[in-house]
Amino acid sequence: MSVSEREPVIHTADLRKDFTVSTRAGLLRRTRRTVAAVDGVSLRVERGEMVGYIGPNGAGKSTTLKMLTGVLMPSGGELSVCGLRPVAQRTRLARHIGVVFGQRSQLWWDLPLAESFRLLRYIYRVPAADHASRLGECRRLLDLDGFLDTPVRQLSLGQRMRGEITAALLHAPAVLFLDEPTIGLDVISKQAVRAFLADLGSRGDTTLMLTTHDLADIEKLCRRLIVIDHGRVVHDGTLPELHARYDSRRRVVVDLDTPWTGRVELPGVAPEAVEADGYRVTFGLSGGTAGELVAALARDGALRDVSVLEPDIEDVVARLYAEPTR
Ligand SMILES: Nc1ncnc2c1ncn2[C@@H]1O[C@H](COP(=O)(O)OP(=O)(O)OP(=O)(O)O)[C@@H](O)[C@H]1O
């Protein structure tokens, strides 16, 4: 592979994409205006990262992915993927990337799934042994055997998505781009797809970049979250960093034998709510651990029951989307 190990797999600097849209302004007149779909995005993604590219509807996610995969020409800025310029070197780039976009299938509608896989081997010129071993692994991990001989048009959405992911990986791409990989899937297929992608990402050879509105995808798959809104990056970091930024704490709910007297002095631990006549207290943890709190309460002999509530990613993302763009 020509891609240097030290180079970032994805690099953009001040990447932009403007669209000109014309809207009706009266009976005969139309006005034209420019929409900055991607408005100065600078990213550096290293080999093996698992990146969630998230944001509200119309934020610019698909437009960014289309530029990264060579489908759309940027209006400005710099862009390289696997050391290549996506539009100018699209054919070479295709050997280094895999793409799973919901609306555009890479499978042949009227052929059995297995035939599509066979054709892709010739298109990407994958050596027979490599193809067989990768396909064997996908068949096992994505449970494809029950529908390998079914024409693609007869597959369920979940079966087709498992087929699409396999098709995107048969040439061992360095980067896999996925646009909403679990949207519309049943629970079993969602779990199968997530477990497969988590396993693929954990091996560290393949860089994963996915857009999703599904918070479970974010929690299970995205070690790094890049949040985009109105074409601009508004957060770039890990999920715990996102929680810290929005002060979303772990909470510990304790049921007591005797009403709460207001005693427990631990740094980073504060009672947030006292209910049930003082028999139930919710503590927010911003520094201390649940274990320290439980030990302190147990010393007073007052403890009956304990539950720990993890911070809610749904709340955090909703708040993040509600924040005005800077
Ligand atoms: N071909 C186009 N012509 C004009 N405007 C476009 C075009 N494609 C996208 N846009 C506009 O660019 C902005 C970003 O769109 P994009 O599809 O990238 O958003 P998104 O984050 O992928 O949204 P969603 O989550 O709804 O898929 C939107 O305002 C959209 O209307």
Count of all residues that appear for the chain in the document: 326
pLDDT of residue 263: 76
Cα–Cα dist 302/68, whole Å: 58
Cα–Cα dist 308/313, whole Å: 15
Supply the pTM of this predicted model: 0.81
**Residue-wise pLDDT tens digits, 243-264:** 777 767 778 899 988 888 877 7
Report whether residue 16 contacts ligand 1, using a CB cutoff of 6 Å: no
pLDDT of residue 265: 78
Cα–Cα dist 263/272, whole Å: 13
Q: What is the CA radius of gyration of the chain?
A: 24
Q: Which residue has the CA at smallest separation from atom 25 of ligand 1?
A: 57
Report whether residue 21 contacts ligand 1, using a CB cutoff of 6 Å: yes
Q: Closest Cα partner for 61 from 193, 201, 209?
A: 209
Report whether residue 58 contacts ligand 1, using a CB cutoff of 6 Å: yes
Q: Are strands 269-275 and 250-256 parallel, antiparallel or unpaired?
A: unpaired
pLDDT of residue 249: 73
Q: Copy the structure tokens of residue 173.
A: 């791409």
Residue 58: phi and psi, rounded to 5, are 80, 10
pLDDT of residue 171: 94
What's the gap in Å between 61 CA and the centre of ligand 1?
8
pLDDT of residue 323: 63
Query: Which residue blocks in 112-270 are alpha helix, DSSP H?
Result: 113-123, 128-141, 157-169, 187-202, 215-221, 239-245
Work out the mean pLDDT of the chain and round it to a whole number.
88
Q: In this structure, is the dihedral angle defined by the CA atoms of residues 237, 242, 246 and 250, taken in order, positive or negative? A: negative
Report whether residue 62 contacts ligand 1, using a CB cutoff of 6 Å: yes
CA 12 to chain centre: 18
Cα–Cα dist 286/240, whole Å: 12
Cα–Cα dist 214/173, whole Å: 25
Report whether residue 60 contacts ligand 1, using a CB cutoff of 6 Å: yes
pLDDT of residue 24: 80
Q: Closest Cα partner for 81 from 222, 168, 176?
A: 176
Q: Which residue has the CA at smallest separation from atom 8 of ligand 1?
A: 63
Atom of ligand 1 nearest to the CA of 213: 25
Half-sphere exposure (Cβ direction) of 46: Cα atoms closer than 13 Å = 5
Cα–Cα dist 320/313, whole Å: 10
Q: Which of 15, 17, 18, 19 to mutate to test the pocket of ligand 1 (most atoms within 8 A of CB)?
A: 19
pLDDT of residue 296: 84
pLDDT of residue 4: 57
Q: Copy the structure tokens of residue 282.
A: 């919710």
Q: Are strands 207-211 and 50-54 parallel, antiparallel or unpaired?
A: parallel
Q: Which residue has the CA at smallest separation from atom 10 of ligand 1?
A: 37
CA 263 to chain centre: 43
Q: Which residue has the CA at smallest separation from atom 23 of ligand 1?
A: 58
Q: Which of 16, 22, 35 to mutate to test the pocket of ligand 1 (most atoms within 8 A of CB)?
A: 35
Q: Are strands 207-211 and 175-179 parallel, antiparallel or unpaired?
A: parallel
What's the gap in Å between 173 CA and the centre of ligand 1?
27
Cα–Cα dist 307/177, whole Å: 38
pLDDT of residue 10: 97
pLDDT of residue 326: 44
Q: Which residue has the CA at smallest separation from atom 4 of ligand 1?
A: 19
Q: Which residues of the chain are modeled with pLDDT < 50?
A: 1-2, 325-326
What's the gap in Å between 58 CA and the centre of ligand 1?
5
What's the gap in Å between 37 CA and the centre of ligand 1?
6
Half-sphere exposure (Cβ direction) of 210: Cα atoms closer than 13 Å = 30
Looking at this predicted complex, what is its ipTM?
0.97
Report whether residue 83 contacts ligand 1, using a CB cutoff of 6 Å: no
